[in-house]
Chain A
Amino acid sequence: MTTYKEIQGSTVQNYSGDPANPIKGQVWYDSSAEVLKYSSEVAASAWATGGNLNTGRDSLGGAGATKDAALAFGGGPPPAPTAKTLTESYNGTSWTEVNDFNTGKAQTAGAGTYTSAIASGGDQYSGVTETWNGTSWTSQSNSPNTGKSQGSAGADNTNALFFGGSPHGTNAKTTYWNGSSWTALSDFNTARASIAGAGKTYTAALAISGGTSPSTFNTNVESWNGTSWTEIADVNTGRQSGGGTGTQSSALFYGGYNPGASALTESWNATSWTETTDLSSARSGGGNAGASNTDALLAAGTPNSVATEEWTGAGPVIRTIPIS
């Protein structure tokens, strides 16, 4: 019988899982799953549906280092008396209800991971802030920025940056949370609200799009270096309440409204924004999480959606070879 080695010149390699960057046509044995696999093709960047939230809502906050480990909290529809205290945690497949906020709020901004997060601001207009330790929320001192719909970035509940927010056109504040107190930092250049944010540390962030009035859709993007904001390349289409994910050098901007709900998705590579594959459902005000321009999550959004979409960058499609 002819062997694989005789045909290909090498034996099938063993991996505990999958190789890091398989090339098209590569065959290997996954010793963890005990199956033979191959890389059949290279898929384009695309959105796929994720698990539905348990409770539909919009204007919620989100946090999470990757699309497979995220937190969604609060939401509306506003105003405050109807804002929700609910928090749900995502494991890449399904959402689980976990402990509630102490104070219900919508249009709050979030940063961090699903085990260490912060939510600040919202339709309470008081700068109300809570931190998440993986199990429960703890109320903290109010932020000096009392606006709703702020932008945000940060690593965890001890390292977070918040910027702008309502009222539209006058709020250019930047605030930093270090785990115990707030510090006011330099204002950004164009005061606006409903901004998307990206960045995994308070010293390197992006403030993406938003509006200088409720009916204005700014294309401005500003970059933060820990000290000051600098205008960089604009997005192609300005939107309010869009999602922002990633880092200062690799980010994704998706959804929002302009003035109707948008499905547009734009990818940032540290130099320019490029339009890429749209969301399957246009919406705004969802909860966001993710690592970069190849890993993002959008949860819920207008109007009271339960839908989740997961963004995966271009990469190999791995299939199992059936053996009978």
Chain B
Amino acid sequence: MAHKTYQYCIAENWGKGFIENNESSKITFRGYPGNVWQVPAHNKNANLWISKVLAVIKTKDEAQTLVDVEVTANQTTWDNDSVTDETSVEKIERIGDRPIDIILEE
């Protein structure tokens, strides 16, 4: 069985105290759309943080689905924001690049 590098969970960032300095200096947090968080697998500090924020563990595939829903919604919003006769370059100049797909790592 492949060794997992990361674990995924969902938790809503309540603001101050959600991730503290002494936590992010010990492990790497990556937040994704849909309140999805990636932290190291098999890591005591990551597990302590998951307990602290009452995060719900998700498999990578479940987390990927949650991220995809949010990204697709953002892409649709971008696609529907059009001005007549506007070139793609002009559109990017006006509202920025189209949101790109996010692929979670194992």
Residues of A within 8 A of B (CB): 43-52, 59, 77-79, 93-94, 123, 166-168, 213-215, 241, 257, 259-260, 263, 277-278, 280-282, 284-285, 302-303, 307-308, 312, 317
User: Could you tell me if B97 and A52 are in contact, using CB atoms closer than 8 angstroms?
Assistant: no
User: Could you tell me if B19 and A48 are in contact, using CB atoms closer than 8 angstroms?
Assistant: yes
On whether A280 and B17 interact (CB within 8 A), knowing A46-B24, A303-B74, the answer reads no
Cβ contact of B21, chosen from A48, A51, A78, A123, cutoff 8 A:
A48
User: Could you tell me if A47 and B16 are in contact, using CB atoms closer than 8 angstroms?
Assistant: no
> Which residues of chain A come closer than 8 Å to B5, judged between CB atoms?
none
Give the contact-size bracket for chain B. 20 to 34
Cβ contact of A78, chosen from B89, B95, B102, cutoff 8 A:
B95
User: Could you tell me if B30 and A280 are in contact, using CB atoms closer than 8 angstroms?
Assistant: yes
User: Could you tell me if B16 and A51 are in contact, using CB atoms closer than 8 angstroms?
Assistant: yes
Residues of B within 8 A of A (CB): 13-25, 28-33, 74, 89, 92-97, 99-100, 102
State A312–B13 Cα separation when bound (angstroms).
19
State A256–B41 Cα separation when bound (angstroms).
27
Closest CB-CB distance, A164 to chain B, in whole Å? Answer: 14
> Nearest CB to that of A307 among chain B residues?
B13
State A77–B96 Cα separation when bound (angstroms).
10
On whether A50 and B31 interact (CB within 8 A), knowing A43-B21, A214-B93, A312-B21, the answer reads no
> Which residues of chain B come closer than 8 Å to A215, judged between CB atoms?
92, 97
Closest CB-CB distance, A154 to chain B, in whole Å? Answer: 25
User: Could you tell me if A47 and B93 are in contact, using CB atoms closer than 8 angstroms?
Assistant: no
State A49–B15 Cα separation when bound (angstroms).
6
10 contacts between A and B (CB under 8 A): A46-B21, A47-B21, A49-B17, A49-B20, A257-B96, A260-B99, A277-B25, A281-B30, A281-B31, A303-B74
